[in-house]
Structure 1
């Protein structure tokens, strides 16, 4: 009895078998250590020099990046080609061949479509010498900003060069056109621009930058050298080309009427009479104030400042006519011998410098013209 009971107790006291399921600890996921493409673009952009006037110098700054990997090469070329400055035909040929080779290796790439802004020519070379005979200009289907320097051109060659270059870039998508250091702004040039680039929103044509460039380089301060700066360029079309300011503005406005999207216009010419600068020089030559041989601009002349009111009135009149002719225009500027009181230009010009930009803004809702 007791033995049977003991066996029964031992059977009941045996440990029971249990099944436990324990989940293994998950391994931590490796974080993606790749930098965002936007950050890489910003880094490469910072490597590029601020002065992008020489495409060779700019590319040398990122040449090593293009050799690192396919991704970095694509990003670097995208940033480099976004805005390029071409100073000679060899530079253009090198860039063209580089893009062509890149497209062969990367058929899905934009290639020439990466070029959004282009500057051609400088004070040492005509833009026509850079691109004449070049191929691939018709591939610049996304070009939005074109800048040309006409410093090497004269009265005889301006129209010839314009008719060779501008039709080669003719596009409905170009929105910004800048032509600096022109010998003159005439109706032939304005009409050609309106025909080739009907989608322009910002147009800048400048004669006086050529004048200022020469002014900064002249070593002699005498009046003869000062007046020689005004030769070989049409800085003031009134009164010898156009009898008065109204006729000038009417003619210019009519030539630019096809540009129905134009919002900003800069015309770098003087609205004052052409004779004013010569009268200013003669007056100073006859003055008893010494030194008479030091040439200065009209803004530093007390006699010429008496003409400020009439000159400013002509600038307002010309701007008013242009705003009426160009219904989409919001802001325009001329060059002036007189600086607006308390105003300083972004070029750091001070009183006594040769000329200043005068900017007008139209508030069409209020029918007001503001001088900025």
Structure 2
């Protein structure tokens, strides 16, 4: 999903050229919504008649901007998002085409670095006032913005906090919209933590969001060595249970309360693992110390503790005031999807996460973790009535096909729960109803 350095430089240079271009009427209105239907415009052409004393005016029809906009949408939908190169030539035809090109281009914004954010900041201030305070940057000037993607790949903890504060800080002028109401999709990847303050900030800044994707689990680094993997596991809150929340009940209660202002939210992804945090630690230990691995085996198989209920279809009464018990059942078709597991062999890439480790699946009890994920999804579905899907990062998920548009964040380790509301009950399972 990340652009190359060359594309980023070209992209930012294009923005700078727009900032310093000569002022014109359309420079300040290029991001406005598509024009309303209006009568066709005509242009007068003067034709000199054979009689030199007479000039004939002929009205020639001009192609309505609505038609241009409709045709251009097919062009831009086939181009990679976020690359101005594909619309640059189109935007130079005339001011009318420039309106259309920039309106479509700015329907989706990807902020992947501090340099890109600075480019948007400069562009913003060129449209409003050079005297405006420079410690924050709003995107209310992009009137057709529908999808905002923020990647924190180049940020540390402090710089990430600073950058998000610049984007999400409320405007100095009260009652001024900070983000356009058309923005219905927000994606934030490579976060170092997903917590209550972040969710509250997002909910207050984006009240019209329907699709919310927040992810930090992809920060686990398996690209280098075991040392880097272990170091990255301590630099990100990938599994907030039990150190930050005692159990999924505490987690879902706090998260649902934070997201309460999002009255149109339908699809929610939280890129954290609901397995206990020690799973990653044990995964590293049983590769570094075989004796520790044998000790864990003895503890696991000598335990007499009763197993909690499991299932792949969960249902509960939809009314929150009713403390109805959760019903667990097994869907045989869904059961087939749980057969995916890793195999610890010498052919596996090193390092690798628990998702490729058969030992972790055995000791970590994959069925219990998968049931916990459904329980958390069910709890959120009862509290947020508009939800249709809830997805999490998971070490125990089957490999499924994902379209390119959905390949954001830790998409290879994503599990999705689909929600059905009928007859006063809420049901969740891992395949569409």
Fold in common (TM above 0.5): yes
- Give the equivalent residue in structure 2 for 1:195: 204
- Give the equivalent residue in structure 2 for 1:76: 101
- Give the equivalent residue in structure 2 for 1:164: 166
TM-score by length of 2: 0.59
- Give the equivalent residue in structure 2 for 1:150: 152
- Greater RCO between the two (CA within 8 Å, min separation 6)? 2
CA RMSD of aligned residues (A): 3.8
- Give the equivalent residue in structure 2 for 1:180: 189
Aligned mates of 2:270, 2:367 — CA distance in 1: 20
Gaps of 5+ in 2: 1-59, 171-176, 294-343, 405-409
- Give the equivalent residue in structure 2 for 1:365: 422
Q: How many residues align?
A: 300
Shift of 1:159: 4.4
Structure 1 residues 79 and 206: alpha-carbon distance in aligned structure 2, compared to 1, 3 A threshold = same
Worse overlay, 169-178 or 31-40 = 31-40
Post-superposition Cα deviations, 1:251-270, rounded to whole Å, max 9, x if no partner, equal: 11121122222111110000
What SS does structure 2 have at the residue aligned with 1:309? helix
Structure 1 residues 80 and 274: alpha-carbon distance in aligned structure 2, compared to 1, 3 A threshold = same
Gaps of 5+ in 1: 1-30, 101-130, 348-352
Structure 1 residues 46 and 94: alpha-carbon distance in aligned structure 2, compared to 1, 3 A threshold = farther
- Give the equivalent residue in structure 1 for 2:315: none
Shift of 1:147: 2.0
Asked if 1:239 corresponds to 2:254, the answer is no
TM-score by length of 1: 0.67
Aligned mates of 1:135, 1:233 — CA distance in 2: 27
Structure 1 residues 237 and 62: alpha-carbon distance in aligned structure 2, compared to 1, 3 A threshold = closer
- Tell me if the contact between 1:185 and 1:205 (Cα under 8 Å) persists in the aligned partners: yes
Shift of 1:136: 6.7
What SS does structure 1 have at the residue aligned with 2:358? coil
Asked if 1:304 corresponds to 2:313, the answer is no
Post-superposition Cα deviations, 1:170-194, rounded to whole Å, max 9, x if no partner, equal: 4472322221111101111111222
Structure 1 residues 228 and 264: alpha-carbon distance in aligned structure 2, compared to 1, 3 A threshold = same
Shift of 1:76: 2.9
- Structure in which a larger fraction of residues adopt helix: 1
- Tell me if the contact between 1:45 and 1:79 (Cα under 8 Å) persists in the aligned partners: no
Q: Which has the larger radius of gyration?
A: 1
Asked if 1:204 corresponds to 2:223, the answer is no
Aligned mates of 1:47, 1:327 — CA distance in 2: 35
Q: 64, 68, 75: which is aligned to 1:46?
A: 75
- Give the equivalent residue in structure 2 for 1:227: 230
What SS does structure 2 have at the residue aligned with 1:303? helix
- Give the equivalent residue in structure 2 for 1:267: 270
